[in-house]
Structure 1
Amino acid sequence: MLSSPVWRGFPAFYFCLGLVAGGVVIAAALLLIGSLLRAPLPPPVRVGIVLVAALLVTLRELGVLRFPLPENQRLVPESVFRLGRFAGPFQFGLEMGTGVRTYLPSGLAYLTAVVLLLLATPVTAVAAGVGFGLGRSLMTASALHFDDAGGWNLEWGYRSTVVRRVLLIAYLTALAVLISSSLPA
């Protein structure tokens, strides 16, 4: 579907813009909910919860542990395209960008939710939301460069293990920086 000529140009741009907007919306919502959770918990407890979640997600990403994560097992309905070439792709992207209307292939998104709930500031929440949306946009933009429907999936099959490990290392490094900056001196 994404390799269709309909997705080239501005519709793809509006879809990616929707992905970023959706990421920011869900990050802001998690920050708001987290403000209620953070109040009664001292910083060491919040960091401890994040570290336990990071350990569990890391072990899951490495294949040491296997457990399902909650996810909506429905895709965003194609009926959003009735809104036209620009508003339709934007709404589709917005709903996918929140992560609550589609599949999430990695546990890192769930770890991000825990971090946003317990440690984020408004700046880090916006950065996380933009990063989530841009990450999903990168996948979309990459898929658009393949002419055949199976090319993207084959390429992902060859490289997914390496990409997942690199992303995990980068994520855990960024998390370590965030945690070290959030602890009182």
Structure 2
Amino acid sequence: MRPLAPEGVRSLLLVGAAIVILVTEMGWRRLALPQNRRQVPVWIVRDGSRGGALQFGYELGTGLRTYVPSSFPHLALVAVLLQASWAQGLVAGMAFGSGRAAMTLARHYHGDTDEWDRGLVRHRRPVRVLLGVSAAVAVYTLVRAPLGLI
């Protein structure tokens, strides 16, 4: 999108997307975002090897199959499409896939995966708020930096 739209238009689109997604994430409004509604099979995660975690990260990161419980990946996609170079987009994709694989490995090596899941549910709200603040800072940086305002 970078060569197709002026900087100001791209920044406004990104800020608009960020507002919609932050409102959705904080639970103030519901919005059904696109996703492939097929769950990654349990055997991929629980096969006991790092390969399962890597496959899960790959399938989740590429959107081949999964439910997306958060809207933040959509915001990252919009940000990359509107503001990033090809190299930055590649790095963002690698970081996303690595982060998803790291989460799966952390769950696997925790030992009691049911307790890990309960902890995630218990801390869901603070995690969403922290991710929301992080997303807002990232969007602010992406919008302000190209305009020479940082």
Equivalence for 1:181: 145
Is the 2:53–2:101 contact (alpha carbons within 8 Å) kept by the matching residues of 1?
no
1:97 matches 2:79: no
Unpaired segments of 5 or more residues in structure 1? 1-36
Quote how far apart the aligned CAs of 1:184 are.
5.7
Equivalence for 1:14: none
Is the 1:72–1:100 contact (alpha carbons within 8 Å) kept by the matching residues of 2?
yes
Alignment partner of 1:128 out of 78, 92, 101: 92
Compared CA separation, residues 175 and 67, structure 1 to 2 (3 A): same
RMSD: 2.6
Is the 1:71–1:100 contact (alpha carbons within 8 Å) kept by the matching residues of 2?
no
Quote how far apart the aligned CAs of 1:151 are.
1.1
1:50 matches 2:14: yes
Give the aligned residue type for 2:117.
N
Q: Which has the larger radius of gyration?
A: 1
Q: Distance in 2 between matches of 1:44 and 1:152?
A: 43
Scaled by the length of structure 1, the TM-score of the pair is 0.67
1:146 matches 2:105: no
Question: Which structure exhibits the higher relative contact order, with contacts defined as CA atoms closer than 8 Å and separated by 6 or more residues?
Answer: 1
Alignment partner of 1:137 out of 89, 97, 101: 101
Equivalence for 1:171: 135
Secondary structure at the counterpart of residue 45 of structure 1:
helix
Give the aligned residue type for 2:16.
V
Secondary structure at the counterpart of residue 9 of structure 2:
helix
Equivalence for 1:113: 77
Scaled by the length of structure 2, the TM-score of the pair is 0.81
